[in-house]
Every structure is written in structure tokens, then in C-alpha cells.
Homo-oligomer: A and B are copies of this chain.
Amino acid sequence: MNKNITMKDIADKLGVSKVTVSKALNDKDGVSEELKIKIKMVAEDMGYRYNALAKSLKVSNSYNIGVIIAERFTGDNRSFYLTFYQYISRILEEYHYSAILNILDSKDEERLNLPRIYNQRKVDGFIILGQVNKGYIELLQNIEMPIIFLDFYDEHIDIDTIITDNFYGAYEITNYLIKNGHRQIGYVGNLNATSSIQDRFLGYYKSLLEHRIKLNEEYIINDRDEKGKFIDLKLPDELPTAFVCNCDMIAYNLIKKLNDKGYKVPEDCSVVGFDNDIYATISDVKITTVEVDMEEMAKTAVRCIIEKMKNTNEKYGRISIKGNIVFRNSVKSL
């Protein structure tokens, strides 16, 4: 029944022109209030559905945003980025935009093939979720479309990107430990493995500095080699009273290790993590950690891309969003 009812049909029924119908349905000026209401009612009655495609063709704007995630991030069932995508899709909806997901094949990434949704003008811009190859970034920078990177930062290239504030998050959670009376605080992570681990370390270090606590090299524990392969955690001879771990998984492993050696958490040693992922809550001791504020990051990304569509030469650079500490029971107050 609903089949292909257009503005023309509504116009004919009411003896007005389709221009008037268009104005009424879009709440534009130039139609009397009564007529507007009447038109809306008739549209409703006739089961009219607006044809966004026709408008798109006219204004050359699809009202779709492509979200690109590199294939390698999508393997496991608990992909962080899919949750991110969900927020993006939801927030885009508030702006009356839709999200189209594009999983970027390793091959296409290597060969610098742009996605089909680009070549077919199905989207007005792209949000790139997570790291992609350098060559691909450059490729993307050269297309005449707004692009925002999310959760990825490259110091060598001039991109607009939204990242989580690793530095500040680690700084804050270390402050929290100190506020709870800790002065011997270790850090777990390989400082040269990723820039996140490094920035988190630096935040931890800033907190120590501010509180005039000397950094003890003994308290810095390696968790992986520089390629990212995890190694066995080696506890220092003399245990600090607390550890800041570069992520929850490592915090979880550390707690296990401590338990094995007969130490209890948090009674004998406090432990905090980062990420607030499943490892933070899976064992008996629930880990106090820093939660990446995905929603805020997604909101910012969407806001920026909408702005960039209006004004192409808008520049944002690097925006970092503060995470939130989630307090649980892995920290003892001394």
C-alpha cells in the first residue's frame, strides 16, 4: 500500500504544489501554520516516507559517515573498536547521520585501495578507528572529504585525531594511590613497546615528582619485549606497597603472580590498572582502574566531523580526552 507515495501525491490530494509540501515537511518558512499542519497530517495518513536519497542527490550530501576499522582489530570477540563504533553510530544518529562500517582488508590497506563507499559517494566523511598504515593515512589525507582519526596518533603526520589522555589518567590514578598513603609505588610495562605505555609511565612519573617521591628503578617491571610479546613478570626483591600497571590484563597477571608468591591483594600490596576491560572484574579482587571515556571520545569525533563538513578547512589537531577512574577494591589505604 505505502508504495511510493511522494510529495507530489500529497500535493495533489490537497490541491497545493509539491514545493509547498516540501517546505511544510521540512518546517521551512513560507507556508502558513495551518497548511503546514494539514500537510503533515495528510502525509502521515497516506503513510508517506520521506526519500532521503532524492534530497541527497539534490544537495550532494549522503548524510552517511564511513567508519573504517582495520581488519586486524576485529579478530576477537571482545573488540574494543566495535563498542566504539556503536557509540559513534548512536551519536551520529542524533545529528541525523548514519554510520556505515567498513572493515579494511589487509590487502586493501597494503595496496592503498579506498573503500567502495568512497568511490560510490555513499559517505560524506570518514572516521578512522585505530591505527592504519602510514601510506593509507597519506592516501586518506589527499581525498577531498573530512576525516577524523580516533584512538590513534602519529606524531609525524598532521592529522585531526581524538585520543585518550594516557598521561593524565596515569597521573590521576597514581595521585589516588599517594592520597591513600602509598610512597613506594612500582610501574609495570615496557616503556619502549608502545607510546601508550610510555605516556602512562610519564603520567605516573609526574605524580611521583609532584609529591617529591624518588623514582626507584627496581620498581619498574617489564611485561613484554619490544615487539609486544608478553614475558614472565619478575617481582623486585623488596616489594613496593603498590603497583600501577599499564593495562588491566597485566594487573590481572600481576595479582596472580603476587598470590602465587603468597601475597594478598590489596592487603599486602595494592594494584591498579588501565582500560577497565574484562580483566578488571574477572577475578575475585576487582581492580581499580582508568576507564577510557569512549562515549566522550566518540561524541567529540562526531562533533568534529560534522563541523568539518560545514567548514572544510577547520583544523583540530590532537584532542585528548580524559578517562575516568573506576574505584574498586584493589587498593588498600595505609
Residues in A lying within 8 Å of B, measured CB to CB: 1-4, 49-54, 56-57, 60, 62-64, 74, 77-80, 82-83, 85-86, 89-90, 93, 96, 98-103, 116-122, 143-144, 277-278, 282
Contact = CB atoms under 8 A, between A and B. Distances in A.
A295 to B, nearest CB: 12
A78 B279 CA distance: 11
A122 B98 contact: yes
Contacts of A63: 122
A103 B118 contact: no
Contacts of A2: 143-144
Given A79-B86, A93-B103, A99-B101, 13 more contacts: A2-B143, A49-B118, A49-B119, A50-B119, A50-B120, A51-B57, A57-B57, A74-B83, A77-B277, A82-B86, A85-B101, A93-B116, A98-B122
A242 to B, nearest CB: 25
Contacts of A54: 57
Nearest to A292: B77
B103 A100 contact: no
5 contacts: A64-B122, A74-B86, A77-B80, A77-B277, A79-B83
Given A4-B60, A144-B2, A121 B52 contact: yes
A290 to B, nearest CB: 14
A57 B63 CA distance: 15
Contact of A49 (B1, B3, B78, B120): B120
Closest 5 CB pairs of A and B: A82-B82, A52-B120, A78-B78, A89-B101, A98-B100
A77 B83 contact: yes
A160 to B, nearest CB: 21
Nearest to A119: B49
A121 B60 contact: no
A105 to B, nearest CB: 9
Contacts of A121: 49-53
Contacts of A79: 82-83, 86
Contacts of A100: 64, 98-100
Given A98-B100, A103-B86, A117-B98, A53 B57 contact: yes
B3 A122 contact: no
A63 B64 CA distance: 13
A100 B102 CA distance: 10
Contacts of A98: 100, 117, 122
Nearest to A89: B101
Nearest to A71: B90
Contacts of A52: 120-122
A71 B56 CA distance: 29
A259 to B, nearest CB: 12
A12 to B, nearest CB: 20
A100 B277 CA distance: 26
A82 B83 CA distance: 7
Given A89-B103, A101-B99, A117-B98, A278 B122 contact: no
